[in-house]
């Protein structure tokens, strides 16, 4: 199939791009100037380069079977300003979706985020894909706003549309300030590692597995015209953050001390983020 992908130089997007290329798909991917994939690709896609989605000509989407939108501004721990988030995560990708509609792209797929559920997550042992969105902060709110706008477009134009919400992902190429890369750096350096109480419950999934899940959902999830679908993507093995840290600390044969409880919980922390999958 011919795919158009955004976010192909990001963390998850790089692995998604690699999975699509290895599966033999023809991929046209948008990238910003000077950006490179986080991993070595088996082969190069057809790159479309620009500073924003506004630079993507409509003809670049011509002949594509599926548009997979994986790019996002302000993913933690990057700073995220409200005005920029709404422009980069809502206005610009909606413009891209309209170009795809103009070019008769048959399937539109969005990589959403579990943070869209926000405070609603605390009311569920397992969050259903159609749970209400109660986001906290600029990034989560912009992702939720895009999901709402995208769903409205799918209904109005009777499109085949899917929002695949990704939960907690880890792996090589992730921002060094995230939990797993920080934990690995300390473990391999023989340093102590300070963390919170670790009572947060998360469903961590490796980025390689998540990339394959996104591709599978993008290509094969049953979709009805005018009826946006929502799916949760995760490994289905929730655990406390402390358990996750202890597992990897042992895997890396760390000589330092894992100092559980040395840091306070973050403000507005949702203690249980577990999807119904």
Kindly give, in sequence order, each residue whose CB lies less than 8 Å from that of residue 58, ignoring residues fewer than 6 positions away: 99, 102, 103
Q: Are 125 and 60 in contact (CB under 8 A)?
A: no
pTM for this model (two decimals): 0.96
Residue 26: the pLDDT is: 97
Residue 34: the pLDDT is: 82
Reference 172, options 238, 237, 248; nearest CA is 248
Confidence of residue 267 (pLDDT cuts 50, 70, 90): confident
- Distance, in Å, from the CA atom of 115 to the CA atom of 188, rounded to the nearest integer, reads 30
Beta bridge partners of 165: 112, 232
Q: Are 230 and 129 in contact (CB under 8 A)?
A: yes
Residue 33: the pLDDT is: 85
- Distance, in Å, from the CA atom of 233 to the CA atom of 217, rounded to the nearest integer, reads 9
213-223 tens-digit pLDDT = 999 999 999 99
Reference 94, options 52, 48, 124; nearest CA is 52
Reference 266, options 166, 167, 153, 137; nearest CA is 137
Q: What is the largest CA-CA distance in the chain?
A: 58
CATH fold of the domain at 2-169+203-233? Rossmann fold (3.40.50)
Mean pLDDT of 247-262: 98
Residue 210: the pLDDT is: 98
Q: How many CA atoms lie within 13 A of 124 on its CB side?
A: 19
224-242 tens-digit pLDDT = 999 999 999 999 999 999 9
- Distance, in Å, from the CA atom of 24 to the CA atom of 27, rounded to the nearest integer, reads 9
Provide the edge-to-edge strand list for the sheet that holds 160-166.
46-50, 26-32, 2-6, 66-69, 107-113, 160-166, 229-233
77-107 tens-digit pLDDT = 999 999 999 999 999 999 999 999 999 998 9
Q: Which region holds residue 165: left if phi is over 0, alpha if psi is between -120 and 50, else beta?
A: beta
| Structure-token match 């300030």, residue found | 177
What does pLDDT average to over the chain?
A: 96
**Percent of the chain's residues with pLDDT above 90:** 96
170-201 tens-digit pLDDT = 999 999 999 999 999 999 999 999 999 999 99
What are the sequence ranges of the domains in the chain? Answer: 2-169+203-233, 174-202+237-265
| Structure-token match 């100092």, residue found | 259
């Amino acid at each position: 199939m011919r795919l158009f992908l955004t976010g192909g130089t990001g963390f998850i997007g790089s692995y998604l791009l690699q999975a699509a290329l290895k599966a033999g798909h023809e991929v046209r991917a948008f990238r910003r100037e000077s950006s490179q994939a986080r991993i070595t690709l088996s082969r190069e896609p057809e790159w479309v380069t620009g500073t924003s989605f506004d630079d993507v000509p409509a003809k670049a989407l011509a002949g594509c079977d599926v548009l997979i939108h994986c790019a996002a501004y302000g993913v933690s721990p990057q700073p995220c300003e409200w005005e920029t988030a709404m422009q980069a995560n809502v206005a610009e990708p909606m413009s891209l979706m309209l170009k795809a509609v103009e070019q008769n792209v048959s399937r539109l797929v969005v990589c959403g985020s579990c943070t869209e559920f926000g405070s609603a997550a605390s009311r569920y042992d397992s969050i259903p894909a159609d749970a209400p969105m109660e986001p906290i902060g600029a990034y989560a709110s912009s992702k939720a706003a895009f999901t709402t706008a995208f769903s409205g477009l799918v209904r109005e134009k009777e499109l085949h549309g899917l929002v695949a919400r990704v939960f907690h992902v880890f792996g090589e190429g992730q921002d060094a300030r995230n939990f797993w890369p920080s934990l690995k750096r300390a473990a391999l350096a023989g340093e102590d590692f300070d963390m919170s109480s670790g009572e947060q419950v998360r469903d961590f999934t490796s980025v390689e597995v998540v990339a394959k899940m996104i591709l599978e959902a993008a290509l094969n999830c049953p979709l009805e015209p005018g009826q946006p679908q929502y799916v949760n993507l995760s490994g289905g093995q929730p655990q406390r953050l402390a358990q996750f840290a202890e597992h990897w600390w042992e895997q890396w044969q760390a000589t330092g001390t894992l100092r559980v409880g040395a840091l306070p919980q973050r403000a507005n922390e949702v203690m249980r983020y577990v999807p119904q999958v």
